[in-house]
Chain A
Amino acid sequence: MATSIYNFKRIAPVPESSDFLDIVLSKTQRKTPTVIHPGYKITRIRQFYMRKVKFTQETFDEKLRQILEEFPVLDNVHPFYADLMNVLYDKDHYKLALGQINTAKHLIDAVGKDYLRLLKFGDSLYRCKQLKRAALGRMATIMKRQKDSLSYLEQVRQHLARLPSIDPNTRTLIVCGYPNVGKSSFMNKVTRADVDVQPYAFTTKSLFVGHMDYKYLRWQVIDTPGILDHPLEERNTIEMQSITALAHLRAAVLFFVDLSEQCGYSIQDQMSLFASIKPLFANKPTLLVLSKSDVCSLDAVGAAERQLVETAVRPEEGVELAQLSSYLDTGVIETRNLACDRLLMQRVELKLKGSKVSSVLNKLNVAQPGRRDTVDRPAFIPDAVRERRGRSDDSALERDLEAAHGGAGVYNVDLKKRYLLGADEWRHDVIPEIMDGKNVADFIDSDIAERLAELEREEERLAAEGLYDSPEEESDEEESRIRDVARRIRQRKQVIAHESRIKNVNRATLTNGQKAAASAPEDFARHLQLLGLDPAAAAATAAERVGRKRPRSESRDPAAVQMARASSVAARAQSTLRDRSTMGLRNARQKSIADKKKLVSQRQRNLMARAGESDRKIGMKMPKHLVTGKRSIGSNDRR
């Protein structure tokens, strides 16, 4: 979208005077040191408080400067905005408010300067602190007096931010006229602005902007509040906004006239308004738009009124006539196009008249090549193409064919029509399906369906003869028992697996002793039963040995123990120590030579008190107790 050239929307909020103070003073508190003691050097104390005063003054200065810089200066903005702001916020009030802020800034600077000067003579912490307090207090008082200016500026800021972003220099259509004549309806028809439309006067109380595309260009349409026909001095703020837009924007003007007089104003009134604000339309393409043409057209009104309208229309002065009905949607686009064309034409003319255009035009050259000689050099057309051009049947477009044969959805495009093959009649032949280099069709039995049917018939016959009936169930006692046992084994296996899975879970489990204490003799019996053993023998043993442990003699057969011991202990491997010093040596002579060599090789190592070959330790090179202390020449008292 065409963004505004001014940053009205980006003005920072202006705090109230009390908030302003809080912001600045808390910033001082946060950003300057806070700890000071009377025992510090006086220069440090002075510096501490001077910093506070200076910082506060600078913060005030910065904040006020920001306000002064961000708010637009009326002399620097486009006259349209300057005038609009004058209408809405009163230029004098606005300038006064900014002026007061500026004065406050200077006063605060002066206070800061004065007190810094006084602080240089502060001779105690108390005095410096009092001076700082006085300085900050006076700055705060100055700011408190700006309460009204600040709140006014905040209101202006909020309103400015909500102003429609109108670009004063772009292609613009301005819609104006009496209240309630259908300006906003037209606006809603041609743009997406969604302006409120109501059946009473002054529904639109301020300027609204909408955007549209025409001829690949972006246009803005400005909807203005209604204007009444009275002198400029009597116009209120709402009307003045329209007048401002009409006066300062170079745009096409669409003056709406309601011939049906449904708006409550007679045609004479409307035309006299047109006459009175006509000076504002000078040099602007103007359209006298007769709206609500569904209710009343130009032919239907009285002769006098018609005369009024027709005299106002002067194409030579740039005033043209258009009719539209937003209700029926007739003439809306035509009116828009007419206005846009006229404006575009005028803008191009203006540009051509301006000085800038020559700098562009002299760079442009539209080349128009002339004839070099009389030799004819026609474009090359292949013979095939030339031949094709002559034929009428083939040149028919697919689109025409489709229309001729029932339209989209019915007509099927013949893709094979232009295949280039050996003979034209092959085009629509069925294309064989090839798989792994073989034609699928070669492997298809023509009588496969028949043979399948034959197979099925045979099956039916066999089934009827009872070939597939299962043989008689021979109930074998033995087998059923085996099966039963097998089933129980499987079940038991499942249970065991399940139990072991549970047992593996990492949690507190009973110790064997606890388990034994918890289990009853019946459990043991049941367990034995489950294992297929007779619990009676065990019960007998238990009854016989009440309160007594099983003796060792009873627990195991001595012969079995003996055997087990013999089988578990293997013969121990015996290793002998051998003298390696003589290994690889043939005789005593060789050995003595080797011993000597060994001693020679170890001599150096022993001299250096090494533990072995691998001892490479480097000890302290300059032990301190040997190199410090008094020197012999007497320069130091000890060594």
Chain B
Amino acid sequence: MVSPQNEYIEESIRRHGRRLDHDERKRKKEARKVHKDAAFAQKVHGLKAKLYNKKRHNEKIQMKKTLKMHDEKNAKQKNDDAVPEGAVPAYLLDREGQQRAKVLSNMLKQKRKEKAGKWNVPLPKVRGIAEDEMFRVVKTGKSKSKSWKRMVTKPTFVGDGFTRKPPKYERFIRPMALRYKKANVTHPELKATFQLPIIGVKKNPQSPMYTQLGVLTKGTIIEVNVAELGLVTTGGKVLWGKYAQVTNNPENDGCINALLLV
């Protein structure tokens, strides 16, 4: 017995051809497809409908773009800057240095702006977080009657050199599961995101105590290690620590996204 091998489907088509109504069936199927899709779109509901509509929406956008591209290809368009850049009328030919002066003034402006907005952060306001949301009371004592211990229920940063106090006297517990060492930091000018190690928590806007505990909430300013970015100061020194502000709710997302403050 010979089982079909290699390109047996193509071979069969080559030898015997397709069925006689193949093309017609294909054409009809294609013609009916729009109707079938419409029927499906009307029938579908729930999550499937949501997904389907999203997909259809994207397809339509793509279709419109394609059509527009074809239109553009065919239509003649007015060209506004037909004059090439850098072309100067004859009476201005002897003026020079304009470009350079512009650059200088731009730099000055930039510098001034930087100084003025040094403490301007992307998220100037944050939602207040009450203590009972931040901490969970841990009951201690033989009959669990004491409740002076607290467990932090938000992500925290705990430095490398941290040593726990004897557990008996430890007031604040920062669970291992909620400790983070890295943050996804976006450089606003490079428009690129890097995963950088956290050096420390500079300030938690909620309270200085949270800063001390290293709690990471939305709006917290953290210091990140930018050594791998290879940033250099104007003086030529290599930068390695830079501030960044947390822009997401780490306790909801399970990761820390931050924006580099430049």
Q: Which of A131, A134, A211 contacts B1 (CB 8 A)?
A: A211
In the complex, identify which listed stretch (B21-29, B70-78, B86-94, B250-258) lies at the interface while the others stay far away: B250-258
Q: Which of A131, A162, A165 has the most CB of B within 10 A?
A: A162
A163 B5 Cβ-Cβ under 8 A: yes
A121 B5 Cβ-Cβ under 8 A: no
**Residues of chain A with a CB closer than 8 A to B1's CB:** 1, 211
In the complex, identify which listed stretch (B6-14, B142-150, B189-197, B226-234) lies at the interface while the others stay far away: B6-14
Taking the complex as formed, is B4 at the interface, i.e. its CB lies under 8 A from any CB of chain A? yes
A134 B175 Cβ-Cβ under 8 A: no
Q: In the complex the two chains form, what is the Cα distance from A29 to B251 in whole Å?
A: 24
Q: Which of B3, B7, B15, B153 contacts A121 (CB 8 A)?
A: B153
A194 B153 Cβ-Cβ under 8 A: no
Taking the complex as formed, is B177 at the interface, i.e. its CB lies under 8 A from any CB of chain A? yes
Name the interface size band of chain B. Answer: 20 to 34
Q: In the complex the two chains form, what is the Cα distance from A196 to B177 in whole Å?
A: 66
Quick one: CB contact mask for B12-49 with A, threshold 8 Å, 1 for yes?
00010000000000000000000000000000000100
**Residues of chain A with a CB closer than 8 A to B253's CB:** 130-131, 134
Kindly provide the distance from the CB of A277 to the nearest chain B CB, expressed in whole angstroms. 23
A209 B153 Cβ-Cβ under 8 A: no
Taking the complex as formed, is A59 at the interface, i.e. its CB lies under 8 A from any CB of chain B? no
**Residues of chain B with a CB closer than 8 A to A114's CB:** 254
Taking the complex as formed, is A461 at the interface, i.e. its CB lies under 8 A from any CB of chain B? no
Taking the complex as formed, is A259 at the interface, i.e. its CB lies under 8 A from any CB of chain B? no
Name the interface size band of chain A. Answer: 20 to 34
Taking the complex as formed, is B178 at the interface, i.e. its CB lies under 8 A from any CB of chain A? yes
Taking the complex as formed, is B80 at the interface, i.e. its CB lies under 8 A from any CB of chain A? no
A192 B2 Cβ-Cβ under 8 A: yes
Q: In the complex the two chains form, what is the Cα distance from A72 to B243 in whole Å?
A: 51
**Residues of chain B with a CB closer than 8 A to A138's CB:** 254
Taking the complex as formed, is A27 at the interface, i.e. its CB lies under 8 A from any CB of chain B? no
Q: In the complex the two chains form, what is the Cα distance from A193 to B6 in whole Å?
A: 12
Quick one: CB contact mask for A161-191 with B, threshold 8 Å, 1 for yes?
0111100000000000000000000000001
A130 B2 Cβ-Cβ under 8 A: no
Q: In the complex the two chains form, what is the Cα distance from A162 to B235 in whole Å?
A: 67
A134 B254 Cβ-Cβ under 8 A: yes
The 9 closest A-B pairs by CB, nearest first: A130-B252, A164-B5, A117-B177, A1-B1, A206-B6, A134-B253, A134-B254, A118-B254, A121-B153
Beyond A121-B177, A164-B3: 10 further Cβ-contacts under 8 Å?
A: A118-B177, A126-B252, A130-B252, A135-B254, A162-B7, A163-B5, A165-B5, A194-B2, A207-B6, A210-B2
A-B contacts, 11 of them at CB < 8 A, read: A121-B175, A121-B251, A123-B133, A123-B136, A130-B252, A163-B6, A196-B11, A206-B7, A207-B6, A208-B5, A211-B1
Residues of B within 8 A of A (CB): 1-8, 11, 15, 47, 133, 136, 153, 175, 177-178, 249, 251-255
